[in-house]
């Protein structure tokens, strides 16, 4: 996208610059943190508002890093957020519902014939507009019902923005997406004007429901307004009230009724060609001109004004500025009565001249006027650029550009850094969604449909999502796993494992470390499990430990923990022989840490004391060997005399039990051999 033609407006920060200090800043994904530094300003005052009159009120956002005399800084940190709409509950509905439309649009297959796709794209466009309308209506209801004046004003501002957005979108739908040809083009522009100039219906109801409609002060305004919008049947209905009231002028009103009724309207689905329609329209136009020249309506100034409107007299139309309201309504009315078969390439000339005539030489066009004029000039790139500058978020430009790109209307607009215009805007919009605590999930789908940089953005943004709860962490993790983002999966699991460990939730910590495939951390947590067992004499989180499966192979210590728990389970199920073999293998295979050998040998005591011989002669010798190896090792320097006495007692008990079991095993095995 090209550089902005003009400097952006300053962002005012209340109270910033009160102490005449430089401002520091820190960029965030969707906003900016600004704070006063300890450095005073030197020389030129960089903060506007620091004059004697303006000091302490508001300062322009000036970001600078300079050195100077130090002084005590301000304790305040200001958050500068460009997109405030993301915080509005009602507008969040707009984001949620448009997300579904966006995802559906991406599923339209490329191999579908263009003719069929056009109707699908028009349908998608109308769906987007219906969502905008629904939000607009809810905002209007809230503005009326709220007692808070500032909130009502905020709702009113949001309604105005949505009105402008829907107006622009609808025009783009007519000109670009539906691409109406000559004849149909004017009909769609009339519908566009009628939709966005709905106060005529309100006034018409007010007049018709009054006691005497023909004498109502807004009667003729309603008649002329209906004619200006090409609603001839409704205008005739209202006009009949006046005709019945004045029978002496019935012939004049009848003549006007015939002109309104006979005005040709092009029917795109009919058999009539555009040329035939043009001939009929010119004949009707000549008839209107003849009535004016014959002074048929000279006795009634309102009817005379009406016939001048039907002739498209520019001076008469401009006299109805208050009823028209906008230059683009003037444009469509002017085309209706002068160029009903206007072709799309000719629109720009009439649009520019209509705006100039309506606004006059002194008035300057508003940003909305410039955007609509660019649309009438078929300059899509300028429409998107101006909307990006004028609107306070990326929702509109991102979705409209995406739809136009699917219509193959933006192929020529590529950016210098590798991504096309559509992807750039979608990425910006999705990045903004990631700053919200719930809307970030929508952003994932937007990134998924940006083939160039979408994955890179997602990888960077997903790491910034605060993992407030385990449920949220699981959501984030599932997103990463579905997209094979292995680095992010490991990072999330490590964060959650460490958090669970700090809260002494060993089962959760172990589960997260296994998902992260972090052998070192799994070893650390396994040590904590074993330490807990030594202190309490029982394991916690049995469901997890009993169902480790192949995950226990992640580290030696975790393997030992899983097998040691299996030993306890076998023992609890009275499967003593299997338990004995497993216990012995943990020591002989050196899987068990040496510091736990005495604990394992102590666990063997109940098996050695059984009436039935559990350990064979060879197994008993192996246990005796492990006991002697343990006793021959270096003693820990920090053991007390009491600890040594306890260890000595355990050793004697074990030797006695092993000797008794050896004797019983020899007798048993000798008997079996005999």
Does residue 331 form part of some domain? Answer: yes
166: exposed, middle or buried (C-beta count within 10 Å: 0-12, 13-18, 19+)? buried
Residue 454 in any domain: the answer is no
Q: Please write the tens of the pLDDT for every residue from 261-307.
A: 999 998 888 778 889 999 999 999 999 999 989 888 888 888 999 99
Q: Is residue 334 part of a domain?
A: yes
On the question of pLDDT at 23 being above 60, the answer is: yes
Question: Are 335 and 196 in the same domain?
Answer: yes
Q: What value does the mean pLDDT take over residues 213-223?
A: 89
d(CA 674, CA 670) in angstroms, rounded, equals 6
114 — pLDDT class (breaks 50, 70, 90): low
| Number of domains the chain contains | 3
Residue 23 lies in a domain: yes
Highest mean pLDDT pick, 12-16, 144-148, 591-595: 144-148
pLDDT in tens, 627-673: 888 777 655 555 666 767 777 888 888 888 888 888 888 888 776 55
The one-character DSSP state at 8 is: P
CA nearest 437: which of 101, 85, 87, 95?
Answer: 87
What mean pLDDT value characterizes the chain? 83
Residue 85 banded pLDDT, cuts 50, 70, 90: low
Which of 199-203, 325-329, 602-606, 621-625 tops mean pLDDT?
Answer: 325-329
pLDDT tens digit string along 164-180?
A: 999 999 999 999 999 88
Residues 207 and 330 in one domain: yes
Q: Are strands 77-81 and 58-60 parallel, antiparallel or unpaired?
A: unpaired
Burial 316-353 (b: 16+ CB within 10 A, else e): bbeebeebbbbbbbbbbbbbbbebbbbebeebbebbee
Q: Evaluate whether residue 484 is within a structural domain.
A: no
Does the structure show a pLDDT above 90 at 541? no
Pick the more confident residue, 378 or 651: 378
Digit-coded pLDDT (tens) for 28-57: 555 667 777 777 666 444 433 333 333 333
24 lies in some domain:
yes
The answer to whether 525 touches 510, Cβ cutoff 8 Å, is yes
Calculate what percentage of the chain has a pLDDT beyond 70.
84
Please check whether residues 202 and 328 belong to one and the same domain. Answer: yes
Specify whether 78 is located in the same domain as 208: no
Region 225-236: mean pLDDT is: 92
Q: According to the model, what pLDDT value does residue 340 have?
A: 92
| pLDDT surpasses 70 at 335 | yes
Contacts of 237 (CB under 8 A, 6+ apart): none
Q: Does residue 209 share a domain with residue 78?
A: no
Residue 413 has pLDDT above 60, yes or no: no
Q: Which domain holds residue 624?
A: 574-629+645-673
Q: What is the 3-state secondary structure (H, E, C) of 324-359?
A: HCCHHHHHHHHHHHHCCCCCHHHHHHHHHHHHHHHH
User: Is it the case that residue 527 has pLDDT exceeding 70?
Assistant: yes
Q: What is the DSSP string of 187-214?
A: HHHHHHHHHT-THHHHHHHHHHTSSSGG
Q: Which of 92 and 331 is assigned the larger pLDDT?
A: 331
With pLDDT > 90 as the criterion, what percentage of the chain qualifies? Answer: 35
Last residue of a domain, one of 26, 50, 82: 82
Q: Is 81 helix (H, G, I), strand (E, B) or coil?
A: strand
Q: How confident is the model at residue 674 (pLDDT cuts 50, 70, 90)?
A: very low
Q: How far apart are CA 459 and CA 482, in angstroms?
A: 13
Report yes or no on 555 lying in a domain.
no
**What is the rounded CA–CA span in Å between residue 524 and residue 110?**
53
- List residues bridging with 27 in a β-sheet: 32
Residue 81 reports pLDDT greater than 90: no
Please say which residue of 293, 314, 342 terminates a domain: 342
3-state secondary structure of 603: helix
> Could you tell me which residue, 38 or 578, shows the higher pLDDT?
578
The tens digit of pLDDT for each residue in 585-636 reads: 888 888 888 778 888 888 888 888 888 888 888 888 888 888 888 777 655 5
What pLDDT is attached to residue 190?
93
Strand, helix or coil for residue 534: helix
* pLDDT top residue among 662 and 414: 662
φ/ψ of 314, rounded to 5, equals -65, -40
Question: Are 196 and 335 found together in one domain?
Answer: yes
Whether 395 has a pLDDT exceeding 90, the answer reads: yes
What pLDDT score does 386 carry? 93
pLDDT band at 58 (very low <50, low <70, confident <90, very high): very low
Same domain, 215 and 78: no
Residue 417 to residue 286: CA distance in whole angstroms: 58
Give the model's confidence band at 60: pLDDT under 50 very low, under 70 low, under 90 confident, else very high.
Answer: very low
Q: Return d(Cα 564, Cα 575) in angstroms, integer.
A: 14
Quick one: pLDDT at residue 363?
82
pLDDT at 74 over 70: no
Please determine, for residue 140, whether its predicted confidence score (pLDDT) is greater than 80. Answer: yes
- 136 inside domain: no
pLDDT for the residue numbered 66: 36
Whole-number pLDDT of residue 29: 52
Torsion angle, alpha carbons of 587, 592, 593, 599, to 10: -80
**Average pLDDT for residues 328-346, to the nearest whole number?**
93
Strands 77-81 and 31-40: antiparallel
């Amino acid at each position: 996208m090209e550089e902005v033609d003009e400097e952006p407006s300053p962002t005012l920060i209340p109270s910033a610059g009160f102490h005449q200090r430089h401002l520091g800043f820190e960029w965030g994904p969707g906003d900016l943190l600004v704070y006063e530094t300890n450095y005073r300003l030197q020389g030129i005052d960089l903060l506007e508002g620091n004059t004697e009159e303006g000091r302490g009120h508001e300062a322009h956002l000036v970001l600078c890093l300079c050195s100077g005399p130090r002084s005590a800084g301000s304790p305040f940190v200001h958050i500068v957020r460009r997109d405030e709409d993301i915080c509005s509950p009602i507008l969040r509905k707009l984001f949620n519902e448009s997300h579904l439309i966006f995802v559906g649009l991406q599923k339209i297959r490329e191999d579908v014939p263009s003719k069929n796709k056009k109707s699908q794209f028009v349908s998608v466009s109308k769906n987007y507009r219906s969502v905008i309308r629904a939000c607009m209506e809810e905002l209007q209801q809230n503005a009326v019902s709220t007692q808070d004046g500032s909130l009502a004003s905020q709702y009113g501002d949001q309604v105005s923005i949505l009105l402008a957005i829907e107006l622009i979108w609808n025009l783009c739908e007519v000109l670009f997406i539906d691409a109406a040809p000559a004849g149909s083009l004017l009909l769609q522009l009339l519908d566009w004007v009628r939709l966005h100039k709905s106060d005529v219906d309100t006034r018409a109801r007010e007049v018709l429901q009054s006691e005497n409609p023909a004498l109502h002060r807004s009667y003729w305004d309603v008649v002329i307004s209906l004619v200006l919008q090409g609603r001839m049947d409704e205008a005739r209905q209202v006009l009949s009230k006046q005709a019945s009231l004045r029978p002496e002028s019935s012939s004049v009103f009848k003549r006007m009724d015939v002109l309104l009724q006979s005005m040709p309207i092009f029917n795109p689905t009919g058999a009539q060609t555009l040329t035939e329609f043009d001939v009929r329209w010119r004949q009707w136009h000549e008839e209107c001109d003849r009535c004016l020249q014959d002074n048929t309506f000279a006795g009634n100034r309102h009817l005379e004004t009406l016939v001048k409107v039907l002739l498209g007299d520019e001076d008469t139309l401009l006299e109805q500025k208050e009823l028209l309201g906008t230059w683009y309504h003037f444009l469509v009315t002017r085309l209706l009565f002068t160029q009903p078969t206007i072709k799309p390439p000719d629109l720009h000339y009439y649009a520019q001249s209509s705006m100039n005539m309506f606004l006059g030489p002194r008035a300057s066009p508003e940003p909305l006027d410039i955007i609509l004029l660019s649309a009438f000039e078929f300059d899509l790139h300028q429409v998107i650029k101006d909307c990006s500058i004028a609107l306070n978020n990326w929702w509109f430009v991102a979705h409209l550009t995406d739809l136009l790109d699917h219509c193959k209307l933006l192929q020529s607009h590529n950016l210098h850094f590798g991504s096309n215009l559509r992807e750039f805007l979608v990425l910006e919009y999705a990045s903004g969604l990631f700053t919200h605590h719930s809307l970030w999930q929508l952003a994932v789908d937007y990134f998924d449909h940006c083939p160039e940089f979408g994955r890179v953005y997602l990888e960077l943004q997903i790491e910034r999502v605060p993992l407030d709860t385990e449920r949220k962490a699981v959501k984030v993790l599932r997103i990463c796993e579905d997209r094979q983002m292995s680095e992010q999966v490991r990072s999330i699991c490590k964060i959650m494992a460490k958090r669970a460990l700090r809260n002494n939730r060993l089962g959760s910590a172990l589960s997260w470390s296994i998902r992260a495939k972090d052998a070192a951390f799994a070893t650390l947590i396994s040590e904590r499990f074993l330490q807990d067992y030594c202190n309490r004499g029982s394991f916690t989180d049995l469901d997890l430990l009993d169902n480790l499966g192949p995950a226990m192979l992640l580290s030696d210590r975790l393997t030992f923990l899983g097998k040691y728990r299996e030993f306890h389970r076998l023992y609890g199920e009275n499967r003593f022989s299997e338990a004995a073999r497993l216990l012995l293998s943990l020591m002989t295979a050196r899987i068990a840490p040496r510091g736990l050998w005495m604990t394992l040998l102590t666990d063997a005591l109940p098996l050695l004391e059984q009436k039935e011989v559990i350990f064979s002669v060879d197994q008993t010798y192996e246990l005796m060997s492990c006991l002697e190896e343990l006793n021959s090792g270096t003693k820990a320097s920090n053991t007390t005399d009491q600890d040594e006495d306890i260890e000595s007692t355990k050793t004697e008990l074990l030797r006695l039990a092993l000797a008794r079991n050896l004797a019983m095993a020899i007798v048993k095995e000798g008997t079996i051999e005999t």
